[in-house]
């Protein structure tokens, strides 16, 4: 199957990280991509200086790259954290401070998808309390996304690598999507379907696609094992992308995998073979 009509974007928080942040959009463009996505780039600053936001906006614009996905503040990522919005106290406050900053930045570059990572379970706080806080913060985020005409993405991670993260299956994440839509009344919460994470959880990927394609707002891929480029593991990613297209998903497919030993540009060779 040809992938010529599939829209791929590059996650600049995992690829091209050998370069400074502001040089990565141009590197992605040189590799042939017109679209990119990012985790929140300032892991210690939910509200960075305007000059830093402006510099990233200019780097994206000057490179001719469209930002198609952006995480809200999620703590130390990469690192031990898996989001902030369900963690009472300082982390929830930092997430709330970031909501409008992230949304306004997304609006400034035409980004229409904002990803809100749920956050790990923490000692001393009941799951019920964390879940109540999470829904409250997700509704705030959904409203901010709606204000700029964007969708709010909710992602399932994988249990082996994120044992404290509660959303480690497609049904668990989609359940939160449905709850947020019911509470907000906006209907703009969507599932972020990451084939790598779901495969690590042992889920039936074809069943997940068939069941949830209509609730999916963004797709990310990496091969398994290893989280490398397609072809480095055993997942039939070309076939799975084709199944997504047949199921009606026509959005972006984010390349969120680790580059191989030859560097980021070499990790896109598989595209020429499909």
27 token code pair: 């590197």
**Cis, bond preceding 269 (omega within 30 deg of 0):** no
From its phi and psi, is residue 157 left (phi > 0), alpha (psi between -120 and 50) or beta? beta
From its phi and psi, is residue 231 left (phi > 0), alpha (psi between -120 and 50) or beta? left
Q: What is the pTM of this model?
A: 0.97
Q: What is the DSSP letter of 99?
A: H
Find the catalytic residue in 155, 203, 207, 239: 155
pLDDT band at 1 (very low <50, low <70, confident <90, very high): very low
Find the catalytic residue in 37, 91, 203, 256: 256
Assign 9 to helix, strand or coil.
Answer: strand
Q: What is the C-alpha to C-alpha distance for residues 197 and 163, in angstroms, rounded to an integer? A: 12
Clarify whether 123 is annotated catalytic.
no
188 token code pair: 């703009």
pLDDT one-digit tens code per residue, 196-246:
999 999 999 999 999 999 999 999 999 999 999 999 999 999 999 999 999
Look at residues 62, 20, 64, 11 and name the one whose alpha carbon lies nearest to residue 40: 11
pLDDT one-digit tens code per residue, 80-109:
999 999 999 999 999 999 999 999 999 999
142 token code pair: 């959904």
Clarify whether 155 is annotated catalytic.
yes
**Cis, bond preceding 109 (omega within 30 deg of 0):** no
Q: What is the C-alpha to C-alpha distance for residues 142 and 107, in angstroms, rounded to an integer? A: 14
pLDDT score recorded for residue 6? 86
pLDDT one-digit tens code per residue, 125-174:
999 999 999 999 999 999 999 999 999 999 999 999 999 999 999 999 99
Q: Under 8 Å CB-to-CB from 115, ≥6 apart: which residues?
A: 69, 70, 71, 72, 153, 154, 155, 192, 218
């Amino acid at each position: 199957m040809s992938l010529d009509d599939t829209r791929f974007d590059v996650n600049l928080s995992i690829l091209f990280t050998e370069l400074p942040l502001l040089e990565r959009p141009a590197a992605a463009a040189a590799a042939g991509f017109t679209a990119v996505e990012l985790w929140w780039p300032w892991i210690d600053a939910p509200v960075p200086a305007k000059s830093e936001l402006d510099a990233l906006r200019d780097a994206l614009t000057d490179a001719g790259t469209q930002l198609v996905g952006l995480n809200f503040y999620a703590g130390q990522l990469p690192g031990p954290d898996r989001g902030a919005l369900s963690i009472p106290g300082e982390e929830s406050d930092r997430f709330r401070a970031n909501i409008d900053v992230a949304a306004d930045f997304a609006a400034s570059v035409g980004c229409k998808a904002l990803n809100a990572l749920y956050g790990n379970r923490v000692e001393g706080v009941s799951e019920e309390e964390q879940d109540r806080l999470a829904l409250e913060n997700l509704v705030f985020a959904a409203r901010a996304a709606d204000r700029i005409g964007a969708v709010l993405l909710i992602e399932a991670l994988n249990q082996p690598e994120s044992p404290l993260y509660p959303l480690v299956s497609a049904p668990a994440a989609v359940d939160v999507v449905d709850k947020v839509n019911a509470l907000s009344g906006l209907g703009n919460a969507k599932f972020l379907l990451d084939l790598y994470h779901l495969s690590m959880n042992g889920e039936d990927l074809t069943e997940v696609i068939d069941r949830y394609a209509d609730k999916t707002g963004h797709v990310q891929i990496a091969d398994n094992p290893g989280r490398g480029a397609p072809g480095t593991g055993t997942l039939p990613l070309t076939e799975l992308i084709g199944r997504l297209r047949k199921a009606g998903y026509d959005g972006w497919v984010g390349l969120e995998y680790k580059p191989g030993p030859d560097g980021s540009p070499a990790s896109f060779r598989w595209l020429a073979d499909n």
